[in-house]
Amino acid sequence: MGMIGQHLLNGMMQGTIYGLVAMGFTIFFGVMNVIKFSHGDVLTLGAFGGLVAVWATNSMGLSVPVQFIAAFAAAMLLSAVAGAGISHFLIMPLRNAPPLNMLLMTMMVGTVLREAIRLFFPNGTNPQRFPELLPSGGFNIGSSFFRTDALILIVAGIASIGVVYWIINRTKFGLAMRAVAEDVETARTMGIIFARVIPLTFALGSITAGFAGTIYGLYYSEINYGMGLLLAVIGFTAAIVGGLGNIWGAIIGGYLFAGLQTFVVAAMPSMSDYKNVFAFVLIIMLITWRPTGLLAERGSERV
Amino acid sequence: MVTITKRAFAALAAVSVLPLAFGSLDAALAKDKVKIAFVGPLTGALSPHGIGGRNSAELAVKQMNADPKTKYDYELVVLDDECKPNIGVQVVTKIASDRSIVAAIPHYCSATAIATVDIFNRFKLPMVVWAAVLPEITYANKYPEVHRVSGILIGQNRVGAEFMKARGYKKFVSFADSTDYGKSMNKYFTQFTTENGNEILGTFAVPPDQQDLSAELTKIKELNPEVVYFGGLTPLGARLRTQMAKFGINAQLEGNSGIMGDAFINAAGPELAEGTVTFFDSPPISKMPGGKAFTDAYKAAGYSEPPEAYGPFAYIATHLVMETIEKAGPDRAKITAELADVKDRPSIVGPITFDDHGQNITPLTTKYVVQDGKWLVWEDSEYAAGKRKLKNLP
């Protein structure tokens, strides 16, 4: 059992990725009451954008740190544009439609994005090798092996969660966002430009997805067109478990899900094939126990 | 600008239809067209293997058509099964219900092949599997339509277990994918390894598309085996090798036919692939009679992708199918009957003999090791000569 530290680190890494995805879901829901199922595919789009940026900067002969920054910048920019575009052209016009229509529409947009990457990216059906931009290797503490790249990515991920939290709670834009989330009409009478705040909110949520996509690529050294699908399901589940609409809930949900997956493999290695089954079954039990999530959204009386 | 009047257009149309109507009269001049189908993964993570196989099959067809002595003009219908059982069932149903297709050369992936054998039987479409190695494909049923030129994975695992024992390895971990293929690999690995008195410390099964292996690898690191056995295909194998290195696991990697081919070395990179051992049912093509002719013709045909490990098998399967059609005529039942009698047929991977299940029983299981970014026969490598050492040798 000397590997507990190691398992914790693995769980932290996955949890950070899940948490970042879940945070997007929770932001969209909190502000617009929208479940945006294309979120996972926006993540994929961002990761591919990051890959192209690395290829481009690499062929220009720029240094590795520049490639690293370019990857994140391109991924975040591309996913922000995609997220804002989806909200402006598709979600806003449909905002008074039944929620089911919205859900279906975002699922279809996700499929379009996913298939577009598969069909138009060169060799898009094949998994793409994501270049290793972080120092490889690591160090041992006791019998646990700490990967340097994993540590850097976890710190980056947690820092980005902090930044998003700061934007929402400490900036003027965050205030506008929260005002819209609370009551659209009142927010409008207070002079908040609704049509500007919403796309920006979606851009913010999508940036976290692009960021997570790049972290994913750097950690696993591989991305593929379908990676967003399972991540979206897990991210959405995490957001629900934590309490849809509550940022901390989403993050706790993300780590919880990763923890469950890791625990199954650590405790019963021969059952590792069933880790998603176990994790989802436990999540179903949790949701049955606390239907509004572990941390319910404040003011959930709107349900 | 040329304007075509209605009447002129009708006349033109009539002229262009004419050859179709009188096509049969030309039989003496032009050969009858015969369609055969090739099925393999042309997209997806395993596409390098599928495309190598497709090119090789196409090459066989081109060579056959260039020969003026043959009776028929062959057309290769190429279909993509994406290595997914559900897609495989779709495309095989499509070719099986198309009566103009008289025979097929299907499947790289075992999980796909095992899902489609029933369809070949139901539609009475004769076929010769070119790569999939799961024993059940030929042995679970006795379908007269089903044949296979590639070996079965039992032999590879027997040779592998003996080889690893001879090197002195004692502690193993099995890591396989959770498809029928991976399960079968693990089953025979476990059987032969324990029969040899060696110990298996742990067994892991993951879906072939699982990205994150960190939990499994952490556990493997804790078990500290001398050898990690891998029973699966290239993408997962390359991922396993890459992530093993990231976790600082310094165990010897023992593979199988599933990772044989340049694609594994390309995906994992030559440094990480170095020293990986694998057991595969054919000697290198360069050492076989007619092997050089194949390699030269493949190059001359201008294919940019390598044939990969099973390209020669796709080539001989396609060749065998066409040879059979020359003898029996383009009729499904006659081809099936004719294929039952294949015995000691010379080919570039050695003689082909089908047993009563349509299984080629003459594979020559060969040991391979990666040295400087190339698969070398073990006996020819610096590892066998003692200049280089496998990892973790006791």
Instruction: Write down the domain spans for chain A.
Output: 4-302
Q: Report the Cα A34 to chain-centroid distance in Å.
A: 16
Tell me which chain B residues have a C-beta less than 8 angstroms from the C-beta of A221: 242
User: Does A7 contact B218 at a Cβ distance shorter than 8 Å?
Assistant: yes
User: Does A10 contact B214 at a Cβ distance shorter than 8 Å?
Assistant: yes
Tell me which chain B residues have a C-beta less than 8 angstroms from the C-beta of A226: 209
CB A57 within 8 A of CB A133: no
Which residue would you say has higher pLDDT here, B81 or A195? B81
pLDDT at B210 over 90: no
For residues B105 and B87, membership in a common domain is answered with yes
* Angle (CA) B46 B260 B159, round 5°: 135
Percent of chain A with pLDDT over 70: 96
Sheet of B146-148, strand order: B72-80, B32-40, B101-106, B127-129, B146-148
Q: Would you say residue B223 lies in a domain?
A: yes
Q: Report the Cα B162 to chain-centroid distance in Å.
A: 24
Residue A255 in tokens: 């780590």
Task: Name every residue whose Cβ is closer than 8 Å to that of residue A292 and which is 6 or more positions away in sequence.
Answer: A243, A300, A303
- Helical packing angle, A172-182 and A194-220, nearest 10°: 110
Question: What is the reported pLDDT for A105?
Answer: 92
User: Does A272 contact B206 at a Cβ distance shorter than 8 Å?
Assistant: yes
* Nearest Cβ partner for B211 among A140, A220, A269: A220
User: Does A269 contact B204 at a Cβ distance shorter than 8 Å?
Assistant: yes
Question: Which residues of A lie closer than 8 Å to B, measured between beta carbons?
Answer: 2-3, 6-7, 10, 13-14, 125-127, 129, 136-138, 140, 143, 145, 147, 149, 216, 220-222, 224, 226-227, 261-262, 264-266, 269-270, 272-273, 275
For residues B186 and B139, membership in a common domain is answered with no
- Residue range B260-270: average pLDDT? 88
Q: Dihedral of CA B56/B62/B67/B70: which sign?
A: positive
pLDDT band at A297 (very low <50, low <70, confident <90, very high): low
- Residue of chain B whose Cα is closest to the Cα of A134: B246
Tell me the nearest-neighbour CA distance from B175 into chain A, angstroms: 10
E-strand spans in B272-343?
277-280
For residues B45 and B109, membership in a common domain is answered with yes
DSSP letter assigned to residue B83? T
Nearest to B208 by CA among B253, B239, B252, B243: B239
Q: How deeply is B62 buried, as exposed, middle or buried, from its count of CB atoms within 10 A (0-12, 13-18, 19+)? A: middle
* Nearest Cβ partner for A145 among B221, B239, B242: B221
Nearest to B277 by CA among B210, B136, B371: B371
User: Which amino acid belongs to residue A154?
Assistant: I
Residue B90: which domain range? 31-151+285-363
What's the pTM?
A: 0.80
User: Does A272 contact B205 at a Cβ distance shorter than 8 Å?
Assistant: yes
User: Does B206 contact A269 at a Cβ distance shorter than 8 Å?
Assistant: no
For residues B304 and B357, membership in a common domain is answered with yes
Nearest to B53 by CA among B121, B104, B123: B104
Tell me which chain A residues have a C-beta less than 8 angstroms from the C-beta of B212: 10, 14, 220
Tell me which chain A residues have a C-beta less than 8 angstroms from the C-beta of B219: 3, 265-266, 269, 272
Sheet of B374-377, strand order: B199-206, B171-177, B227-231, B252-254, B277-280, B366-371, B374-377
Read off the pLDDT of residues A116-167 as tens digits, 9 standing for 90 and up: 998 899 877 777 888 888 887 778 777 677 888 889 999 999 999 999 999 9
DSSP letter assigned to residue A89? I
pLDDT at A300 over 60: no
Read off the pLDDT of residues B9-29 as tens digits, 9 standing for 90 and up: 555 555 455 444 444 444 445
pLDDT band at A301 (very low <50, low <70, confident <90, very high): very low
Task: Name every residue whose Cβ is closer than 8 Å to that of residue B44 and which is 6 or more positions away in sequence.
Answer: A125, A126, B82, B83, B84
CB B394 within 8 A of CB B226: yes
Q: What is the rounded CA–CA span in Å between residue B383 and residue B390?
A: 7
For residues B245 and B165, membership in a common domain is answered with yes
DSSP string over A139-173 = EEETTEEEEHHHHHHHHHHHHHHHHHHHHHHHSHH
Read off the pLDDT of residues A248-261 as tens digits, 9 standing for 90 and up: 999 999 999 999 98
Tell me which chain A residues have a C-beta less than 8 angstroms from the C-beta of B221: 3, 6, 145
For residues B236 and B135, membership in a common domain is answered with no
* Nearest Cβ partner for B216 among A13, A226, A272: A272
For residues B184 and B245, membership in a common domain is answered with yes
Q: What is chain B's mean pLDDT, rounded?
A: 90
CB B194 within 8 A of CB B200: yes
User: Does A273 contact B207 at a Cβ distance shorter than 8 Å?
Assistant: yes
CB A19 within 8 A of CB A255: yes
CB B364 within 8 A of CB B283: yes
User: Does B178 contact A149 at a Cβ distance shorter than 8 Å?
Assistant: no
Residue A2 in tokens: 């000397």
Percent of chain B with pLDDT over 90: 73
For residues B39 and B145, membership in a common domain is answered with yes
CB B302 within 8 A of CB B275: no
Nearest to A187 by CA among A199, A174, A202: A174
User: Does A10 contact B44 at a Cβ distance shorter than 8 Å?
Assistant: no
Minimum mean pLDDT range among A27-41, B74-88, B178-192: A27-41
Q: How many domains would you assign to chain B?
A: 2
In angstroms and rounded to an integer, the radius of gyration of the C-alpha atoms of chain B is 23
Tell me the nearest-neighbour CA distance from B239 into chain A, angstroms: 8
Question: What is the reported pLDDT for A303?
Answer: 30
Task: Name every residue whose Cβ is closer than 8 Å to that of residue B251 and which is 6 or more positions away in sequence.
Answer: B173, B220, B225, B226, B227, B228, B244, B391, B392
Q: Would you say residue B8 lies in a domain?
A: no
User: Does B205 contact A273 at a Cβ distance shorter than 8 Å?
Assistant: yes
Tell me which chain A residues have a C-beta less than 8 angstroms from the C-beta of B202: 269-270
pLDDT at A290 over 90: no
CB A72 within 8 A of CB A211: yes
Question: What is the reported pLDDT for B246?
Answer: 85
For residues B181 and B264, membership in a common domain is answered with yes
Q: Would you say residue B133 lies in a domain?
A: yes
Question: What is the reported pLDDT for B224?
Answer: 92
CB A244 within 8 A of CB A26: yes
Q: What is chain A's mean pLDDT, rounded?
A: 88
pLDDT at B53 over 90: yes
Residue with tokens 């090739």: B38
Interface test with A, best of B186, B204, B228, B246 (most A CBs within 10 A): B246
User: Does A270 contact B203 at a Cβ distance shorter than 8 Å?
Assistant: yes
pLDDT at A265 over 70: yes
Tell me which chain A residues have a C-beta less than 8 angstroms from the C-beta of B211: 216, 220, 222, 227
Length of chain A: 303
* Nearest Cβ partner for B222 among A3, A10, A262: A3
* Angle (CA) A72 A76 A79, round 5°: 140
Q: How deeply is A189 buried, as exposed, middle or buried, from its count of CB atoms within 10 A (0-12, 13-18, 19+)? A: exposed
Tell me which chain A residues have a C-beta less than 8 angstroms from the C-beta of B265: none
The listed range with the strongest mean pLDDT (A39-53, A212-226, A238-252) is A39-53
Q: What is the rounded CA–CA span in Å between residue B290 and residue B350?
A: 10
Nearest to A206 by CA among A31, A70, A21: A21
CATH topology of domain A4-302: ABC transporter involved in vitamin B12 uptake, BtuC (1.10.3470)
Question: What is the reported pLDDT for B5?
Answer: 57
Q: Would you say residue B141 lies in a domain?
A: yes
Read off the pLDDT of residues B327-361 as tens digits, 9 standing for 90 and up: 999 999 999 999 999 999 988 888 899 999 999 98
CB atoms within 10 A of CB A104: 13
For residues B255 and B373, membership in a common domain is answered with yes
User: Does B215 contact A125 at a Cβ distance shorter than 8 Å?
Assistant: no
User: Does A266 contact B219 at a Cβ distance shorter than 8 Å?
Assistant: yes
Tell me which chain A residues have a C-beta less than 8 angstroms from the C-beta of B45: 126-127, 224
Q: Would you say residue B388 lies in a domain?
A: no
DSSP letter assigned to residue B34? E
Tell me which chain B residues have a C-beta less than 8 angstroms from the C-beta of A136: 245-246
pLDDT band at A64 (very low <50, low <70, confident <90, very high): very high
The CATH code of the domain that includes B188 is 3.40.50.2300
Helices and strands, number each (H, E), in chain A: 11, 4
Strand partners, B36: B76, B103
Tell me the nearest-neighbour CA distance from A188 into chain B, angstroms: 45
- Residue range B247-253: average pLDDT? 91
- Residue range B161-167: average pLDDT? 95
Q: What is the rounded CA–CA span in Å between residue B12 and residue B1?
A: 17
For residues B329 and B263, membership in a common domain is answered with no
Nearest to B269 by CA among B360, B373, B181, B356: B373
Q: Would you say residue B13 lies in a domain?
A: no
- Residue of chain A whose Cα is closest to the Cα of B175: A270
pLDDT band at A203 (very low <50, low <70, confident <90, very high): very high
Q: What is the rounded CA–CA span in Å between residue A88 and residue A99?
A: 17
For residues B137 and B238, membership in a common domain is answered with no
User: Does A275 contact B202 at a Cβ distance shorter than 8 Å?
Assistant: no
- Residue range B243-253: average pLDDT? 90
Residue with tokens 């089953």: B187
In angstroms and rounded to an integer, the radius of gyration of the C-alpha atoms of chain A is 19
Nearest to A53 by CA among A237, A210, A269: A210
